[in-house]
Amino acid sequence: MAGRARIPSVEHVRPRPEGVAVTSTSTSPPGGAPTAATVPAVAAVEVTKVYGSGDAAVHALRGISVGFAKGAFTAIMGPSGSGKSTLMHCLAGLDTVSGGRIVLGDAEITGMSDRQLTMLRRDRVGFVFQAFNLLPTLTAEQNILLPMELAGRKVDRFWFNQVVDVVGLGDRLRHRPSELSGGQQQRVACARALVARPDVIFADEPTGNLDSRSGAEVLSFLRSSVREMGQTIVMVTHDPVAASYADRVVFLRDGQIVSEIVQPTPDTVLDRLKSLGA
Ligand SMILES: Nc1ncnc2c1ncn2[C@@H]1O[C@H](COP(=O)(O)OP(=O)(O)OP(=O)(O)O)[C@@H](O)[C@H]1O
Ligand SMILES: [Mg+2]
C-alpha cells in the first residue's frame, strides 16, 4: 500500500458525522466561504523543518500537507525519527517551521512573535505528554485548574464538573499525584487540558508510561471527550491498539506522510505498519 498516495487527499476519506475529512491543501470550498465542516482545526501546508545546517542538517519534515478535522480524533504513527514529535510541535506552535505554513483555526501561526505564540498556546491549545507533568504538592483539582488560574481565566464550574465526570475522577479530586495510579494521573493531565476548552489537544505518546489497562482507560476517556464534548485531538503513538481509538491514522516516514487509514482497527493499523516496513 506504500505506493497508494504520498500525500493523503480527500478522495480516500469518507465523511464522518463527528468531523469531516479535509483536503490536504485547501481550507475552503471552491467559490464559497469556509464552513465548520471544511475548515480544519489545525493544518500544515507544505511544511518543512530542518535542524542544523550544512553537512549536519537533519531534514525532519520534508513537505507535509495535512489537515486535522474539528471534533475528530487523529493518530500520527511512524518509525522512531520519522518526524512525529516535530510535526506535533510545529502544529502546536512549540517549534517554528523552516518552510510552509501552519494554520490553527482562523490563525496563521507561521511568523507569529514569541509573545503571540505563547498566548495562542495558552488560550487555544492543550497538551498531554508521556510524563504526566503534574505538580506533586497540588491536589488533582488544583492541578486541573492551575493553567486557567495562571491565565486569569474564570473557571466554569458546570464545565469543570462535566469534565471531571467524563474523566471519572470525582472521588479523587482531593488526592495528590503520589496518591493516584499512573492512569489516574494521566486522566488528571487530560482533564487539565480539556477544562480550558482548547481548539486542539496534542498528545505525544499519552499512554507510553501506562500498563494496558490504564492506557485503555485514558484512551476511552480521550475518545469520549471527542464524541461527547466535540474536542479535537491529535495523538502521536507507536501502539496500533491506541491508534485504533482514533477516527483516522496518518503515517509518517522520513518526514513525509506516506499513508492514512480512516476508522482504523488494531489489525488494519498493524498491517499498514508492516506494509510500510515500520
Ligand atoms: N532539536 C533537534 N535538533 C536536531 N535534530 C533533531 C531535533 N529534534 C529532532 N531532531 C531530529 O529530527 C528527526 C525527527 O525527530 P522526531 O523527534 O520528530 O521523531 P519521532 O518520530 O517523534 O521519533 P520517536 O518515535 O523516537 O519519538 C530525527 O532525525 C531527530 O533526530
Ligand atoms: Mg517523538
How far away, in angstroms, is 230 Cα from ligand 1 center? Answer: 31
Residue among 48, 49, 53, 58 whose CB has most ligand 1 atoms within 8 A, to mutate: 58
Q: Is the pLDDT of residue 11 over 70?
A: no
CA distance 171 to 49: 45
Is there a contact between 174 and 141 (Cβ–Cβ < 8 Å)? Answer: yes
For position 58, what pLDDT does the model report?
Answer: 96
Using alpha carbons only, give the angle 39, 235, 88 rounded to the nearest 5 degrees: 70
Residue with the three cell numbers 506552535:
93
Q: Rounded mean pLDDT of 101-128?
A: 91
How far away, in angstroms, is 87 Cα from ligand 2 center? Answer: 9
| CA dihedral sign, ordered 136, 142, 145, 146 | negative
CATH fold of 10-275, please? Answer: Rossmann fold (3.40.50)
Which atom of ligand 1 is closest in space to residue 87's alpha carbon?
18
As given in the structure block, the three cell numbers for residue 101 are: 505554513
Least confidently predicted of 95-104, 208-217, 268-277: 208-217
Is there a contact between 103 and 42 (Cβ–Cβ < 8 Å)? Answer: yes
CA distance 68 to 235: 11
Is there a contact between 39 and 33 (Cβ–Cβ < 8 Å)? Answer: no
What kind and span of H or E run contains 31?
none
Q: Rounded mean pLDDT of 44-62?
A: 96
For position 37, what pLDDT does the model report?
Answer: 52
Is there a contact between 252 and 84 (Cβ–Cβ < 8 Å)? Answer: yes
For position 96, what pLDDT does the model report?
Answer: 93
CA distance 45 to 163: 33
Q: Comparing C-alpha atoms, which of 29, 34, 62 is closest to residue 256?
A: 62
Give, as residue ranges, everything with CB less than 5 Å from ion ligand 2: 85
How far away, in angstroms, is 96 Cα from ligand 1 center? Answer: 14
User: Closest ligand to 94 CA?
Assistant: 1
Going from N- to C-terminal start, the domains of the chain cover 10-275
Pairing of strands 73-77, 248-253: parallel
Q: Is the pLDDT of residue 278 over 80?
A: no
Which atom of ligand 1 is closest in space to residue 49's alpha carbon?
12
User: Closest ligand to 96 CA?
Assistant: 1
Side-by-side strand order, sheet with 256-262: 125-128, 200-204, 233-236, 73-77, 248-253, 256-262
CA distance 203 to 218: 11
One-letter amino acid for residue 213 of the chain: R
Q: Rounded mean pLDDT of 163-167?
A: 83
Task: Check if 78 has its Cβ closer than 6 Å to any atom of ligand 1.
Answer: yes
pLDDT tens digits for range 132-142: 889 999 999 99
Residue among 59, 84, 209 whose CB has most ligand 1 atoms within 8 A, to mutate: 84
For position 122, what pLDDT does the model report?
Answer: 87
Q: Rounded mean pLDDT of 143-162?
A: 90
CA distance 256 to 42: 17
Q: Is the pLDDT of residue 32 over 60?
A: no
Query: What integer best gives the mean pLDDT of the chain?
Result: 85
Q: Is the pTM above the cut of 0.75?
A: yes
DSSP characters over 227-242: HHH---EEEE-S-HHH
